[in-house]
Each structure stands twice: as C-alpha cells, then as structure tokens.
Structure 1
C-alpha cells in the first residue's frame, strides 16, 4: 500500500528504532537510536556529503502537489553541513527539493515547502553529512507532509452550501455560511444519484489533482440495507469497479459505505449479513489496488457497536487491505471520545492479527459533543445544540485525520430541526445553528 497522504514518513521520530530507514556503507556511517531520536555518526573516511547518509525510500510524489519537509537537527560539532534531499530513488536521481543547512550544537527545526515536479512511487528522502571528519548528527521529528489543512484538502466548488450561496448572495446568513462552510474542505458523497459514477468521479478527482490537492470522497451505495440501491451483488461490484476506474491513479481519500458495518446487526439473516460483509470486502480490495488512494471502511460510532464486535466486522470486511476505518460519520461524539473508541478497535484488531490499522474521525458536527443539557446522548437526526467541529486536518489522539465527512448543513431527514426537509437537503437554518452552536 502506498504511503498515505498526510505524513509520508514512517517512524520520523525514531521511537521504533531505525525501522523504515536505511544507512550508507558502515565504513562511512554508523547509527544509534537511544530513544531520543537518531544519532548518525560519519567517519573520517566519508570525504563527500553523499558518502555518509541515511534515508527512507518508496515515497509517493505527485506532480504539482505541495509538500513540506521538516526536521529537527543538531551536530556534535558546530558548523556541520547537512544536506536534505527529496528525489527519485534511482538514476537520474532527479531532486524535487535539495537543501543544505549548517548545524549548530543546539536543536533547530528546519521547514521547507516545495511543489513536486516528480511523478513517482519510488521517491527517496536522504540526509547527507560526510565531511572528512568524525561528526555525529542528531535527527528527530522528520516529516514530509502533503495535503495538510494549510496545503491542500480539496474544497468542493459545487457543494450544497456553495450552491445555496450562489442562489442567495444577499441573504443575511450568506457571509457567515461562506466563511464557515463554503471555504472549508469536506467530503463529497457519491451514490445512487450519480448516473455515471466513473465519469463523475473522474471529473471530481481530476479537478482536485489539477490543483495539487487531496479530495475527500464518500462512497455510499448500500444506504444501510443489503446492497442498497444496487439491484444485485453483481451490480454493486460493477459500481465499485466503475468508482475505482474513476479515481484511477490519482490521490484521493476515500470513506467506504458509512453505516454498512455499524448496521450489520439490523439485517434479518446470517446470509444477508454475510452478503453485506462480502460486498464491503470487495470494495476494500478494489480500492486498495489504486496506487494513490487512501481508504477507510465504516467503523461506526460509540453507541452503535461494541469495539470488539466492530473489530471482528472490520477484519471480516478486509480492513487489512486498506489504511483503516472511519468513526463517528454523521454523529456527534467529541474527538477524545471517538479516539478512545477507535483505539479500542485498533487494539482488538491487533489481537486478531491486523496491526497498524489507522482511523479517521468525522468532526463535521461534533464541536459540542453528543450530550444534551441533561447529560443524555442526543438523537441522531438534526439535533439542536450541536456545533461545527475541527475543520479537516491532520489528526490528533492517534487519528490519521480529523475530517468533515458528513456535509454540515445537509439535513439528516424530516426530523428534529430539519422537519419537512428531505435527507441531503441543504438548510441555512441547520447551517447557522451548527456555526453558532445553538
């Protein structure tokens, strides 16, 4: 599976020893990882910078995408030269960025932003420091990030909020909705309403790629019942194949079938549950084969399924093939509650033989959490008193990302504050209540 967009570097703080890294000829460089980062020592035989180097391979670099390389470094001798380079990992070794810094005796954090001219899945990051003298370079907090909140989650120009704004520019709520919703990245959902899923995804992903940005996509064809709006298992598989063809080899962050595994217990028979699980597994394998997609299956939320049961469902649905799972989609639990729930799932998955599973949290409407004034869990359908959560960004609490997966301002159905509004209909009332938190 390719490195996920976000932080492309594995073990950048060296908390897991030297795992994921390599070093040059031991005659020129030796390494140690005492738990506080990397200690890399060049020998006197390393006459050139490139003689003594450490690095990491198989980095996915896309042309036109914005990246940031950052690291913290110092040296045993003041004035030590360190060259940091991101390049193709084979001849002709074309660089995307090539920076040389002079290290002092104290830790310094270096940050360099660049736009990649390269299109490769074999990118290489190296730190080079041979200088004909014995010197130790101390290195930690190495990160190579793409599509962070400041660099490029794609903002859907045709979101429901954007369409409302275009039709109602003089509405007194317009500026508030533009500032808080229209300008912020959220998922676009693709489902039965897309008559040509391949063409529609191709258009959307291509628009994001043209900006060097990462689109957030939700695939929602099951709609909670069997194969949902697909007339058969074969039709659903064909739909997934078409969706995968639409995304193709371009970057995308894909959420697969919210509610599909969380509502598995609502199906009437073992056969129906097995069918659902098999279809999610098919989607997982088809999407995992895409070279630049990062994929998350449905992981439910804290009140839907016990963590141990959800871990079993995820394992059976092929979570080992993808990056991980999404929690809290369309729900309201606070980030810390979601991360605790997700961590319990990942621990159980590790016990079941699927380690290193990641997760994302839907923060589109969880700014006030899920409890009402009486301490009761709010109803799922357009409840009052909710607020926008953290905008789409790199995660905290173990999460890969915090994402707006549910589209804020879109109705859950004709209920709660959205009485009379069909599901998926944008409502400026719902939007304003989420913005103001009342």
Structure 2
C-alpha cells in the first residue's frame, strides 16, 4: 500500500460530470464576539496591566507601555467565547498602529492552561489593514477568549475595529470561499510533458484530459528550498485567485509497506524543520494540503519505536499548519477503504492531532470508488465523533479497484477536482500518469515519473 498508488473508482456517468465547482459565498453566521464594533463602549473587552483602552472615533484605542518582556504582558481580550472542537471559524478584524510593531492574536482558553486553537503573529503598520484567519477549533469550551497581545514593543498605540469571530457554516467558507476555483498547475508533470512533446500524437489528449485539470503538486526533498518552493506555487495560485492543492511528502521512512517511494527527511529533527518551513511558505494565503500520504496506514509495517517517532512528527506537522497557515485546510492522510479498519484509523488520527487541522484524506493514489471511499471516510469520522471533514482522491478511480495497487491495468480517470461528491471535496491528489513504481504495466518507470503510456491508459480505461 504505497503512497503514489491507491485504489478508487467512480461510475462512468460521474466521470462525465467533470467540471470544477466554484463555491458560493458563505451565508451569514452567528457572531460570537460581543461589541466588536465598539459602538457601545469598551465592555465586555478588558485590558491587562501595561495597557489602557478607550473608544476613539468609533474604534478601540489601546495605549501600550514599552519595556515589556513578552507579547502577553500587554493585551486586550474578550472572554466567554463558546467554541466547539472540529468546527471551522474565522477571526477577522481591522488594526492599525502608531508605529510598525509585531503583535499576536489568539483564540484560546481564557484560563490556565491557556490552550491555543489559533495563534497568529501579525505585523501592524501605520496603515489600517483587514486581517482574516479561518481555523478549525481544537477546543470545546464556553470559556474561550479572543486576545490581542501587544507587548514586547516600544510604547505605541493600536486602534482595533470590526472584530468578528463567526462559525463557518457553508462549503463556501474558508479557502474555498476565498478563491474563484481550483488552480491548474501549468508545470505539472503531464503539462510539462505535453508542452515538451507537442509533436507526439498523444500530447493533445494528455493536455486536454489531464494537464488542463486542477491537481496537486507534491513537495519533498526534490523541492529544494521548501519555503521558497511552496511560496512560489501558492503565490502563483493566489495571483490567479485560485485555490492550490499541495501534498507534503517527506516523512522519514515513508512508504514503509509499499517500498517503491522510500526516502524522506534524514531524521525527526530534519523533518520538523522541513514541515515548519513548508507551513511558513503558505503563510496567510488559501490552500488545501494533504499531509504525508500513507504515513498512518504504514503503521502495520513499522516498529513501535518508529511509530512513536512518526506520531511525534505528524503531531508537530498539524501544530505547524494550525499556527502558521491560517487560511489553509490541511488533511492528514488516512489510507484507503481496503487497508486499515475505520476505528483503528480514527485512533491513529486522534493520536497525531487531527483536531488541529481540517480533517483527513482517503484513497490517495488508490482506486476505490468514490462511494466506497465515502463510506470509509464516514466510518472514520463517526469513530472520531463526527468532528472532522474528509476529502477523496478521485484521480484514478473511474473503473474502481481490481485488487492491485501498483500501476494496474484497466483503470480510468475519476471525477475532476470539485466541491462535494460524498465528501468535503473530490481532489486529484495523485498526478494521473505518474508511475507508482517499477511495477505493473510500467515495470521500468520509477515512482513519481510521468509516463504518457500510463496517462493514455487512464484516459481510455485500458
């Protein structure tokens, strides 16, 4: 059960649906912040020592003393915020400062241990700016808090206005609602091949049936400077007002069961540095991220020591995306319908911090039908208490599974990337035409290498 392959299928009728869905804007949601416009004074907002606050021309003016050691040594906040674990929220506000300063905004428990479900460092300047941070809560509490931590700076003044915290209630929320559709990667493997082989009789078919569709870009050790590489890809999508799909694939000892895509970072410390830099490369821009395909399914092929190391690494990864990529929806990979029992997979997901991210992905690089994958995802989510979302890889599931996972014959393209379809999203995570390894109908094509023959077979279902 390697990563660059999985088993999925969708009916031929579904395959013809194939248009990218653009979600509608989110409907009005209940406001959880009281008096975020400061139209009735400052209550129920409160300020700590080293600050004073007052309403000034319809905004909250916060005077901040200098000389403090930590951001939280000077803050304003509102308590009694109700949060539900697994639900999506958006914190937004306007802010401007009398000088360029760094601040921290959080959504957290109001009392010890002050657990954060959102922490964002923000750069305030003398020009007013609107900030917006979608996130998925890891907390269920009626004692939440929205805070602005303004210490560890020279004395300055901050003005806040239009502070809002709302629950996302429709598929048009989060990064989907922030963009006008999914990003088509002009430099995907099939796109590059079609461009460089225009005289090949297969090129036009590869371009029209595969390269012109939205699909994921995979990142690993081959990506070089990971922050720069991720930032460039996400930035190109952002400039086009489109939503990019990324795969983080650099966990040490990856593909422990399949063996064709081995490798990854050289150590736990190296991986933590890499995945932190990955999340930083996304920053505040919208994105969809699949985290480490096969990493939880592979548990059955790993020693207990290796499993515990992987749990630490994946937990760290979820924390990095939660803290550094506020507008990204990240999904931990959960294998496929023919691999790990739903209750077992749910336990593994819980152990690596699935509550820190949007949810999980199923069927990555495999062939199980969308219906089978949806049933599997629903069962996992039920075991998790119904708090997570999931996405399905439909890139090669048009004819379903024949029981083989490594470059099997007779498979077909599935429904193109879109919102919905029995899951939160149907995605082309595996790049159609990329080999699963030196196996099956491509015994001489290494894993991750594009093969026009594999691509044409997927188009024709042969």
TM bracket, shorter-chain basis: 0.5 to 0.7
Task: Assess if the C-alpha contact under 8 Å between 1:6 and 1:145 holds in 2.
Answer: no
Q: 1:7 to 1:145 in 2, by over 3 A?
A: farther
Matched, 1:264 2:278: no
Task: Assess if the C-alpha contact under 8 Å between 2:284 and 2:327 holds in 1.
Answer: yes
Q: Whole-Å Cα distance in 1 between the matches of residues 132 and 309 of structure 2?
A: 38
SS at match of 1:240: helix
User: Which residue of the other structure, out of 282, 297, 315, is the alignment partner of 1:281?
Assistant: 315
Structure with larger RCO (C-alpha < 8 A, sep 6+): 2
Q: 1:419 to 1:338 in 2, by over 3 A?
A: same
Aligned counterpart, 2:78: none
Give unpaired runs (5+ residues) of structure 2: 1-21, 36-87, 96-128, 134-161
Task: Give how far 1:310 is off.
Answer: 0.2
Q: Whole-Å Cα distance in 2 between the matches of residues 7 and 282 of structure 1?
A: 33
Task: Give how far 1:287 is off.
Answer: 0.9
User: Which residue of the other structure, out of 366, 385, 406, is the alignment partner of 2:430?
Assistant: 406
Matched, 1:237 2:267: no
Give unpaired runs (5+ residues) of structure 1: 13-18, 26-56, 61-87, 92-116, 127-139, 372-376
Task: Give per-residue Cα distances to partners, 1:106-136, cap 9 Å, x unaligned.
Answer: xxxxxxxxxxx9763479899xxxxxxxxxx
Aligned counterpart, 1:176: 205
SS at match of 1:391: coil
Q: 1:146 to 1:320 in 2, by over 3 A?
A: closer
Task: Give how far 1:24 is off.
Answer: 12
Task: Give how far 1:262 is off.
Answer: 0.8
Matched, 1:322 2:357: yes
Task: Give how far 1:152 is off.
Answer: 2.0
Task: Assess if the C-alpha contact under 8 Å between 1:221 and 1:230 holds in 2.
Answer: yes
SS at match of 1:281: helix
SS at match of 1:217: strand
SS at match of 1:325: strand
Aligned counterpart, 1:367: 398
Task: Give per-residue Cα distances to partners, 1:125-178, cap 9 Å, x unaligned.
Answer: 99xxxxxxxxxxxxx999568648x93211111111111111111211111111
Q: Whole-Å Cα distance in 1 between the matches of residues 357 and 437 of structure 2?
A: 31
Task: Give how far 1:89 is off.
Answer: 7.0
Aligned counterpart, 2:232: 203
Q: Whole-Å Cα distance in 2 between the matches of residues 232 and 8 of structure 1?
A: 43
SS at match of 1:417: coil
Task: Give how far 1:278 is off.
Answer: 1.2
CA RMSD of aligned residues (A): 3.3
Task: Assess if the C-alpha contact under 8 Å between 2:249 and 2:264 holds in 1.
Answer: no
Q: Whole-Å Cα distance in 2 between the matches of residues 340 and 319 of structure 1?
A: 19
SS at match of 1:189: strand
- Give the paired residue count: 320
Task: Give per-residue Cα distances to partners, 1:273-315, cap 9 Å, x unaligned.
Answer: 1111111111011111121111000111011100010000000
Task: Give how far 1:229 is off.
Answer: 2.5
Aligned counterpart, 1:390: 415
Aligned counterpart, 1:74: none
User: Which residue of the other structure, out of 369, 373, 377, is the alignment partner of 1:338?
Assistant: 373
SS at match of 2:398: coil
Task: Give how far 1:419 is off.
Answer: 1.5
Q: Whole-Å Cα distance in 1 between the matches of residues 248 and 163 of structure 2?
A: 30
